[in-house]
Amino acid sequence: MDKDKVEDGVVVSIEYTLHVDGEQLDTSDGQGPLQFLAGHGNIVPGLENEMSGMKIGESKKVVVQPVDGYGEFDEKAFMSVPRDQFPKDLPLDVDTELTVRDDEGQGRYARVESIEGDNVRLDFNHPLAGAELHFNVKVIALREPTDEELEHGHVHEGGHHH
């Protein structure tokens, strides 16, 4: 049974571009549409909310504020870590991006903000924290999720992960 509009529990395929400060940061062009399972937090909430009810072939411009996107910039999301806590063979430069495991083993994005002597200062803010996100989206397909997708809360079939 085909779905006729975007609603929770539907797998949505979209073509999109993302602009921040007038610069294109991301697009589905050339890599095929992005698929996500609506209502499961696969994409930023502000975009998902605005797409509710859209039909196939419909396009929309959506502006997402930081609070509904990647969050506000957090001045406290910094940490200084001694250089010897990192693998010796890991090249560390300002703006190096890494995944840091927390105590629960969850991977968290971090970026090297500065290196002072033997200390490396990490910024845990998402690169787009505090950014106003300008999306152009077009719904190109809607389908029922498989049982497995529903169970896992995200799309399996050849989608890329963001």
Number of domains the chain is built from: 2
Q: Which of 151, 133, 149 shows the shortest CA–CA distance to 49?
A: 133
- Residue 93 covered by a domain: yes
In a 10 Å sphere around its CB, with 0-12 CB exposed, 13-18 middle and 19+ buried, how is residue 36 labelled?
buried
Same domain, 87 and 113: yes
- Residue 140 covered by a domain: yes
CATH at residue 116: 2.40.10.330
- Expressed as residue numbers, the domain containing 89 is 78-123
In a 10 Å sphere around its CB, with 0-12 CB exposed, 13-18 middle and 19+ buried, how is residue 124 labelled?
middle
Same domain, 22 and 43: yes
Q: Which of 22, 86, 16 shows the shortest CA–CA distance to 50?
A: 16
Residues across the chain: 162
Neighbours of 121 (CB within 10 A): 15
pLDDT of residue 1: 56
Same domain, 15 and 66: yes
The answer to whether the beta carbons of residues 38 and 48 sit under 8 Å apart is yes
Q: What are phi and psi of 45, to 5 degrees?
A: -55, -40
Same domain, 18 and 64: yes
Same domain, 23 and 39: yes
Same domain, 17 and 91: no
DSSP states of 92-103 as a string? --TT-EEEEE-T
pLDDT of residue 90: 87
Same domain, 63 and 87: no
Q: Which of 66, 67, 71, 111 shows the shortest CA–CA distance to 93?
A: 111
Neighbours of 162 (CB within 10 A): 10
Q: Which of 38, 47, 39 shows the shortest CA–CA distance to 68?
A: 47
Q: Which tens digit of pLDDT belongs to each residue from 68-100? A: 999 999 999 999 999 999 988 888 999 999 988
Rounded-to-integer distance, Cα 149 and Cα 159, Å: 12
Same domain, 16 and 95: no
- Residue 144 covered by a domain: yes
Same domain, 15 and 90: no
Same domain, 22 and 96: no
- From first to last of its 162 residues, the chain has per-residue pLDDT tens of 567 999 999 999 999 999 999 999 999 999 999 999 999 999 999 999 999 999 999 999 999 999 999 999 999 999 999 999 998 888 899 999 998 887 888 888 999 999 999 999 999 999 999 999 999 999 999 999 999 999 999 998 654 444
CATH at residue 56: 3.10.50.40
Same domain, 16 and 66: yes
pTM: 0.80
